[in-house]
Amino acid sequence: MSSNWEKSFTIVGGTEGFLAAVKQLGSDYRELDVEGSNGYTKSDGIWGRLAERTQIPKKDTYETRKWLYTTWQENRRKVRTTFFNTQVNDLLENLSRTSNKDEQDNHSHVETMSNNASLLTIPSTVPKAMRSKDILAPRFVHHFAMNYEQWRAFYNHKSGDVHDNWGNQLVPHFIQLGMTCAIVFRYHHVRGKNSRKKNCNLFSGRGHCKGEKCPVEVTVEVEDEPKNKASPCLFKVVIIGDKNHPSKEETMARQLTGDVREAMVKQVQKIGALGVYERNLRYANEDPLKEGNFTEVPSIDVLKTAKQQYNKKYRLDEDYFKELRMFGFFTRCTDDESEDTKAKNFYILLITDILRCFIKFF
């Protein structure tokens, strides 16, 4: 890091001084992620307004605006990450002071969806400028946060990898962000526990919309783990492309997997597939349904199939008893005099009876 940059950072007041200037922008801070590499050339742009709020003596200069842009975009001294974490903590405190009954009813939603509903979203409604090669594809940047319990359900610290159902954990947050696409992830990367690449994201995943005519692609990134249980984990979501969901022509949905699948199966066993379907439909977000995304509302056939597969997985197969009885009958008929054979027959019949008693408890 050059001495000139260090000198400028000292003049601006360090991390606290930089963040104080950004906070004075109010809700306009979102424009810092919208302006492209040429945004700092204009004195009346967002970077010029940010410069006016700093302690730098020469505010209205090209070099000052470029320095502010570089510091923010490259996240030097973690100024960008620190600012978003501060925004997250402030909003979480506000949410903790107010209780929303409708939100509680939605979270009680039978445990069919995971309990990891988003506590916070920081959406950006303005398209972010693209590089020249992607100039035709609109780009949107969003942020959301997970609390500590949600992060544990997403990432396994002991193994240093995400859980198998990590995609399901993101769906409620996507819905909170207003996304109506059924996102299917085909790639993800997790930074190794002993990796020396400090500038590498802890997690990154890429996916696309399941709709045949929808060109939307999604990238999800996590810079690092929460520092403690009280700190939220900030996710960055980059959406490329405009959605295209002709709901009358096709329907789409993510596969029913993981904890969500098991929770729905247990509810099917209690109230039936039709009851679960009606309840899911009652509590589901209407926006995805209007565009043909039925991820939150699996069909009755899907629920019945999931129940059959669940029962088959946790029920002993009757064929095992048939094989044991056939083996015992065969040995008795072929060798009645051998003491070893008689002993084998005794143990075979004993095992069969024990298994029969055991299966009654299922």
Minimal CA–CA distance to 287: which of 279, 277, 296? 296
185 with 235, same domain: the answer is yes
80 with 110, same domain: the answer is no
235 with 162, same domain: the answer is yes
43 with 125, same domain: the answer is no
Cβ-contact 165, 259 below 8 angstroms: yes
106 with 235, same domain: the answer is yes
In this structure, is residue 151 part of a structural domain? Answer: yes
Q: Which residues pair with 120 in a beta bridge?
A: 145
pLDDT at site 352? 65
In this structure, is residue 311 part of a structural domain? Answer: no
| Domain C-terminal end among 63, 87, 111 | 87
- Cα separation, 18 vs 83, in Å, equals 10
pLDDT at site 61? 82
In this structure, is residue 254 part of a structural domain? Answer: no
Please identify every stretch of the chain with a pLDDT value under 50, giving residue numbers as ranges: 1, 99, 101-102, 105-120, 125-126, 128-134
In this structure, is residue 196 part of a structural domain? Answer: yes
In this structure, is residue 299 part of a structural domain? Answer: no
37 with 132, same domain: the answer is no
| Domain C-terminal end among 87, 115, 145 | 87
Minimal CA–CA distance to 141: which of 118, 125, 159? 125
Output the DSSP codes for 273-334: HHHHHHHHHHHS-HHHHHTTB-TTS--HHHHHHHHHHHHHHTS--HHHHHHHHHHHHHHHHH
pLDDT at site 12? 77
| Domain C-terminal end among 240, 262, 281 | 240
40 with 104, same domain: the answer is no
66 with 110, same domain: the answer is no
Minimal CA–CA distance to 245: which of 187, 174, 294, 302? 294
pTM for the complete prediction?
0.53
In this structure, is residue 128 part of a structural domain? Answer: yes
pLDDT at site 170? 92
Cβ-contact 217, 282 below 8 angstroms: no
Residues with Cβ within 8 Å of 76's Cβ and at least 6 positions away in sequence, in order, are 1, 5, 9, 70
In this structure, is residue 195 part of a structural domain? Answer: yes
163 with 202, same domain: the answer is yes
With 0-12 / 13-18 / 19 or more C-beta atoms within 10 angstroms meaning exposed / middle / buried, residue 194 is exposed
Domain that holds residue 25: 3-87
Number of domains in the chain: 3
DSSP state of 203: E
- The pLDDT tens digits for 135-179 are 567 888 999 999 988 998 899 888 888 988 898 899 999 998 888
- The pLDDT tens digits for 236-274 are 999 999 888 886 677 888 888 888 888 899 999 899 999
In this structure, is residue 198 part of a structural domain? Answer: yes
pLDDT at site 46? 81
